[in-house]
Amino acid sequence: MTTPRSTAPTPTPTLTPAPEGSRGPAPDGSRVPAVERAVRLIDELAAAREPLGLAELARRLTLPKSSVHGLLATLVAHGLARRGPDGDFSLGPRPLQWAGAYEAQSDILRAFHQLAGSHAALSAETVMLAVLEGAEVRYLACRPGTRPLAVNFRVGGRFPAACTSSGKAMLATLPPEQAGRLLADAPLPRLTRHSVRTLTALRRQLAQVRLQGWAMDDEETAEGMQCFGAPVLGPRDPRAQAAVAVSVIKAGLSAERRQALVTAIGGLARDLSAALGAAPPRAG
């Protein structure tokens, strides 16, 4: 997440890996260890706020320095990493090509950028698009807010799903037993004193989300910040394909403005669902 334009509280994205086996259909036995190590290394470079040395990267990955040195040499040769004059490493420029290609090929990203500004109540607010990856959410897009106290999220950043409105909105669309298995694999993180503490309390929250159609993060990822999220559905599948959320500073948030934000984020989620081919909700 980028630095806000004020002293507003800023949640720091956690970039811990999603539980093993949650990121794709391939069974563990068919994965290539060298590729897995390279991906972990790229993730570390992407998450770092400043260039990292060989020894630090080896420590973070718990790998021999000789192995990390070989991986880095290959990544540098392909533009995935960059070596500075002091010998430290940072992310290279090639992922930008991939990001552009991904966006060009992604129906939901195109639709988000077209529709994120179409609801008046959201016009000045920070609006995010996220997907569920294991027990975490990853932010695919962020339409920055224009308010002086706006808080903007870093694209690619990850947060625990149990703490976020977008995560809870998506978890609530899963069969309860599937959501339970997903969450049981990872301890509930405590990002703030308001973060949900037990699976029992989280299940109660998810049941409420199913009833009302939207979720709330009430200072659970950052003190002083409130977010409202709603699921984006696809055709022929009741499980969310993604979620949209709006993030605001809680101080001074009136009941009227809160209701307007909830209504607008729900409307944006329905618009995106329709763009993906989901059937409109039944009347009545």
pLDDT tens for the 284 residues of the chain, in order: 443 443 333 443 333 333 333 344 444 567 899 899 999 999 899 888 899 999 999 999 999 999 999 999 999 999 999 999 999 999 888 887 776 666 655 788 889 998 998 899 998 899 999 999 988 999 999 988 887 665 667 788 889 999 999 999 999 999 888 888 888 766 788 888 988 888 889 999 999 999 999 999 999 998 999 999 999 998 878 889 999 999 998 988 899 999 999 999 999 999 999 998 887 665 44
The reply to whether 92 and 203 lie within a common domain is no
Instruction: Measure the CA–CA gap between 225 and 32, rounded to whole angstroms.
Output: 41
150: in domain: yes
Task: Write down which residue in 97, 124, 152 finishes a domain.
Answer: 97
Tell me whether residue 77 is in a domain. yes
159: tokens are 């947060």
Pairwise CA distance, residues 232 & 238, whole Å = 10
Statement to judge: residues 223 and 251 lie in one domain:
yes
Report the C-alpha dihedral over residues 255, 243, 245, 146, rounded to 10 degrees: -140
- Domain harbouring 163, CATH code: 3.30.450.40
Residues 122 and 254 in one domain: yes
Does residue 26 sit within a domain?
no
Do 73 and 124 fall within a single domain?
Answer: no
Phi, psi of 39 (to 5 degrees): -65, -45
Q: Note whether residue 24 is domain-resident.
A: no
Same structural domain, 50 and 149: no
Q: Are residues 92 and 155 in the same domain?
A: no
- What pLDDT shows up at residue 252? 85
Residues 170 and 56 grouped into a single domain: no
3-class secondary structure for the chain?
Answer: CCCCCCCCCCCCCCCCCCCCCCCCCCCHHHCCHHHHHHHHHHHHHHHCCCCECHHHHHHHHCCCHHHHHHHHHHHHHCCCEEECCCCCEEECCHHHHHHHHHHHHCHHHHHHHHHCCCCHHHCCCEEEEEEEECCEEEEEEEECCCCCCCCCCCCCCEEEHHHCHHHHHHHCCCCHHHHHHHHHCCCCCCCCCCCCCCHHHHHHHHHHHHHHCCEEEECCCCCCEEEEEEEEEECCEEEEEEEEEEEEECCCCCHHHHHHHHHHHHHHHHHHHHHCCCCCCCCC
Domain count along the chain: 2
My answer on whether 149 and 242 are in the same domain is: yes
For residues 191 and 137, give the distance between their C-alpha atoms in angstroms, rounded to a whole number.
14
Same domain, 150 and 265: yes
Report phi then psi at 227, rounded to 5: -130, 150
**Domain housing 156:** 106-275
Same-domain check for residues 53 and 159: no
| Residue 49 pLDDT | 82
- Residue 190 confidence (pLDDT): 85
Whether residues 123 and 264 fall in one domain? yes
Pair (111, 69) in one structural domain? no
